[in-house]
């Protein structure tokens, strides 16, 4: 099977990250790799750069990784996490400028259909 785009869901809340992954799974099953990362290492609300980086690495695919974020810190911490990846990987990870739940569902359905990273991102952003 050719590589599919993977998804990372980054929320300030572990519950939102988990719930969004559940909704994606219900839509597309196990066809693509999806991981949620929410909150800080101590379980409090927030975002944490090393946790996001580890999440991206855990689902990295040659086809790329689309990252869905909620509020400001999730976005900037995701940017920093991407910049810490090996350069060849960083180029294949993109943050979608989209609402986290709706964007994740749109991105997942595109990715499951075999779309490339750019098409996945556009699907999320154009929803």
Partner 1 sequence: MSDRTGRPQPVRAGCRRPFAPDPVRPARAVGLTADLLEAAARALLQAEDRLGVLDTAIGDGDHGRNMARGARAVAGIARDVVERPLPEALHRLGMTVVNSVGGAAGPLYGSCLLAMAQAAETEAPGRPIDPPMLARLWAAGVEAVKRRGRSDVGAKTMLDVLVPALAALSASPRLTAEAVRAAAEAGLAGTGPMRATKGRAAYLGDRSVGHLDPGAASAALIIERVIDAVEAGR
Site map (CB under 8 A) of partner 1, residues 38-57, x = contact: --x----xxxxxx-------
Does the protein bind partner 1 through residue 87 (CB under 8 A)?
yes
Q: Residues 76-99, buried b or exposed e (16+ Cβ, 10 A)?
A: ebbeebbeebeeebeebbbbbebb
> Pick from 6, 11, 13, 77: which binds partner 1 (CB under 8 A)?
77
| Contact predicate 23/101, CB 8 Å | yes
Structure tokens at 92: 């294949």
> Pick from 15, 54, 58, 76: which binds partner 1 (CB under 8 A)?
76
| DSSP-derived 3-state class of residue 56 | helix
What number of chain residues touch partner 1 (CB under 8 A)?
A: 26
| Contact predicate 32/113, CB 8 Å | no
Q: Which residue, 29 or 118, is less far from partner 1 as judged by CB?
A: 118
| DSSP-derived 3-state class of residue 68 | strand
Q: Which residue, 49 or 101, is less far from partner 1 as judged by CB?
A: 49
The binding site for partner 1 (CB under 8 A) comprises: 12, 40, 45-50, 69, 71-73, 75-77, 79-80, 83-87, 90, 95, 97-98
């Amino acid at each position: 099977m050719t590589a599919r785009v993977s998804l990372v869901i980054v929320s300030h809340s572990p519950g939102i990250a988990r719930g969004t992954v559940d909704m994606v799974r219900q839509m597309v099953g196990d066809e693509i790799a999806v991981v949620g990362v929410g909150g800080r290492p101590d379980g409090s609300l927030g975002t944490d750069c090393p946790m996001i980086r580890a999440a991206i690495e855990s689902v990295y695919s040659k086809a790329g990784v689309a990252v869905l974020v909620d509020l400001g810190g999730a976005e900037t911490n995701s940017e920093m996490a991407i910049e810490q990846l090996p350069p060849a990987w960083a180029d294949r990870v993109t943050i979608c400028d989209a609402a986290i739940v709706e964007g994740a569902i749109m991105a997942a359905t595109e990715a499951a259909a075999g779309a490339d990273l750019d098409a996945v991102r556009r699907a999320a952003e154009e929803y």
